[in-house]
Structure formats: C-alpha cells, structure tokens
C-alpha cells in the first residue's frame, strides 16, 4: 500500500517535471524560431519599432491604434509592370505589389498557445478581418480609370504588427514634361492617401525594405533610372484637417534610338542635301529652288507624323526646335539662291564667291545651332 502510493507520487512528480521541461523547450524553440525567421519588422512602422499607449478596455477595436497621436503606417511598393505610358492622354498603367504595415498591440497573441507566429487571412477572409480591425483605408489619389485587385493577403503577427499586401493593376494620371523630347525623363507617380483618416490620425512612412522593382522589368521605349518616394500634405474639401499623402516615384528615361535614327538622322541628311545648290552656280533659280522645296516639304511631313505622338502642348519640344531650325536654314538657302541668281547676270565671279563661302558657312551655322539647342536643353 505504501509502495503503491510512493510509486504514484514518483510518477506524478516525473510527469510534472516532464511537462515543465516540454513547456520550457517549446518556449526556447519559439524564441529561436522568432530570431531565425525572416524579419518582417524591418518596417519602421512595425511594433518592434514603435510603441503606443494602451487603449481603454472598452474602446472600439476599429479606433486608431495610437490613442494619443497619429498612427504610423509603413508604405512599400514593388513594381512588376508599367505599360501604356501615354503622353497624349497623360496617363499610364501600373501593376505591382503594395504593402501597408502598422502596429496594433490589441491584436497581439501568444505564439506558443496559438502554435503560430502569425495569422494569415486571404481574399474574402482578409476583407472580413479588415472590417473588424482598424485599417488605414488608403487609395490611389491619382487614379483615373479601372483598378483591379488580383490578390489580397492580411498577416497579423503575434506582437500586433499587421501587414496588408495587395497585388493590383491601376490606371493612373501622370504629368509629363516633354521639353527635352525625345531625350526626356519622366517621373511617374502612385499617390497613396487615406480617404478616412486625416494627418493628425495617420502618418505614412516609407518602407524601403518593401520598395523596388523586378529584376526582369522591361518597358518598351523606356528604362527605369530611379525609384523613390516622398511625403506631402494635402487639404481636401471633406475635412478641414490636411491628409498625409505618400507619393511613390518611378523615374523613367526614354530610349531615344528610334527618334535618333529614323527622324533626326534623315532630317540632318535632308538639310545637308539642300546644300548641293552651292555647287550649282550656273543652275537657274528654278532648278536650285526645287531641291530646297523638296527638303521643306519633307520636314513638314515629318512634323505631321510626329504630332500624332505628342499632346497639343503650348511649349516647344527639343525635336520641334530642331525642325524649326532646319526649316529656317532651308528658307535661308532659298534666299541665298535668289541672291546668287541676281549676281549671275551682273557679277558671275561674285556669285561663285557667295556659293563657295556658303559651302562652309551653312554647315558651321547649322552645327552651331544644334550645339546651342543641346546645351540649352540640358
């Protein structure tokens, strides 16, 4: 009897010690997994980086996580595709991943008890969870057309850090500066703003770890030179307090090879061909003028073709200036031919002298004007 009681006590003690050891081992393994796992907390808005005062026990779970100031929301944007960059319509199509990260300590849980470091919600389940918790309610402020969300994932980490990921395609407005066309650079923007929370309740902050573009990214006629972001304050009619706006910038440079070889080089050749009249001193004015007139008509035709690729802007592009300079030089060539024709009757030697001087003056003046245009256009 005594032996049986003693055996039970030993088994009880051994079982308790085993349970304690297993619990300690689980805690160690959970801590080790936490340390070894990829760090989502690189965002400056994650709970490991910020700390907010606790809420009242009866507070609305959809109230802002920071009861005493603005809640920081990290914004990261990863570009997978840009298409239909259209200067005529001032728009473009963006496709990529948009991540919003914030800290809500009310959502924290015990990873050991839950047997998970984070809770993952997808698609419709993610939308239902978003309606239950606080959400920054961001939207693309420069959207001008359709918006499609192909993937939605909501991740809530055990410390309360929330990651909201969207894979979206959206039609956005752009503001193109074409003064240096076809050697221009453009800044395409995705402007993210909350339609619900003003600046005193929400502040965007750049999440560099989630920002970039795909390695195999390629855009016809363009190349990406820089990806960055900036913050703005915007006043809206719906609220007297300013809203915080996160502006994601994609700087692209135009691949000008098409215009260089198929527009500008033929233009230079046409102007150079018109200089053949300087070796035609004995030719009458009608014959000399036909060559120059052909060049003028060709340049005018080029202008009509290029006008289809550009909006009706009030300023001149670099290509416009180049065509105007070429037209003016051709017009001066006609004037030169008229002067030579006048001298042919009274002073043939003087006519020859004018043509010989023009063989050097016209090319040098044209090259100088092109250099001035290049320097003045940056």
> How is the chain split into domains, by residue range?
2-36, 41-254, 257-376
Residue 355 and residue 17: Cα distance in Å, rounded? 110
What are 221-262's pLDDT values in tens digits?
898 888 889 999 988 776 678 899 999 999 999 998 888 998
Token match 């026990």: residue? Answer: 57
Q: Which of 39-53, 137-151, 272-286 has the highest mean pLDDT?
A: 137-151
At 220, the pLDDT band (50, 70, 90 cuts) reads: confident
Write out the H or E segment, with its range, that includes residue 247. strand 239-254
The domain defined by 257-376 carries CATH number 1.20.58.390: yes
Name the pTM for this structure: 0.77
Q: Chain-wide mean pLDDT for the chain?
A: 84
Q: What CATH class is the domain 41-254?
A: mainly beta
Looking at residue 252, its pLDDT comes to 92
Residue 130 and residue 116: Cα distance in Å, rounded? 20
* pLDDT at 203 > cutoff 80: yes
At 158, the pLDDT band (50, 70, 90 cuts) reads: very high
Looking at residue 238, its pLDDT comes to 64
* pLDDT at 364 > cutoff 90: yes
At 25, the pLDDT band (50, 70, 90 cuts) reads: very low
Token match 């453009």: residue? Answer: 186
Take residue 312 and report the two structure tokens written for it.
Answer: 């009706």
Looking at residue 12, its pLDDT comes to 44
Neighbours of 204 (CB within 10 A): 26
């Amino acid at each position: 009897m005594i032996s049986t009681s003693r055996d039970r006590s030993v088994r009880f003690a051994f079982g308790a010690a085993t349970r304690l050891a297993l619990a300690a081992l689980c805690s160690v393994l959970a801590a080790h997994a936490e340390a070894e796992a990829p760090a989502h907390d690189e965002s400056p808005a994650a709970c490991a980086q910020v700390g907010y005062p606790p809420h009242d026990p009866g507070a609305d779970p959809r109230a802002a996580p920071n009861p005493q100031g603005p809640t920081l929301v990290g914004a990261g944007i990863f570009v997978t595709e840009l298409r239909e960059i259209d200067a005529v319509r001032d728009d473009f199509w963006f496709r990529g991943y948009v991540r919003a990260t914030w800290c809500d300590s009310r959502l924290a849980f015990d990873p050991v008890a839950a047997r998970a470091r984070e809770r993952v919600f997808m698609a419709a389940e993610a939308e239902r969870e978003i309606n239950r918790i606080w959400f920054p309610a961001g939207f693309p402020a420069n959207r001008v057309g359709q918006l499609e969300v192909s993937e939605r994932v909501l991740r809530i980490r055990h410390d309360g850090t929330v990651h909201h990921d969207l894979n979206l395609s959206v039609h956005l407005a752009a503001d193109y500066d074409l003064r240096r066309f076809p050697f221009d650079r453009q800044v395409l923007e995705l402007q993210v703003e909350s339609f619900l929370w003003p600046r005193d309740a929400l502040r965007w902050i750049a999440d560099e770890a989630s920002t970039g573009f795909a390695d195999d990214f390629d855009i016809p006629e363009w190349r990406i030179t820089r990806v960055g972001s900036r913050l703005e304050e915007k006043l809206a009619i719906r609220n007297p307090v300013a809203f915080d706006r996160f502006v994601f910038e994609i700087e692209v440079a135009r691949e000008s090879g098409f215009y260089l070889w198929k527009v500008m080089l033929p233009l230079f050749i046409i102007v150079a061909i018109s200089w053949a009249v300087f070796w035609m001193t004995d030719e009458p004015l009608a014959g000399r003028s036909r060559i120059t007139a052909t060049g003028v008509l060709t340049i005018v035709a080029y202008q009509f073709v290029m006008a289809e690729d550009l909006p009706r802007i009030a300023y001149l592009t670099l290509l416009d200036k180049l065509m105007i300079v070429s037209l003016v030089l051709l017009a001066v060539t006609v004037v030169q031919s008229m002067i030579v024709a006048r001298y042919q009757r009274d002073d043939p030697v003087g006519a020859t002298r004018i043509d010989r001087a023009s063989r050097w003056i016209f090319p040098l003046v044209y090259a100088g004007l092109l250099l001035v245009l290049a320097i003045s256009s940056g």
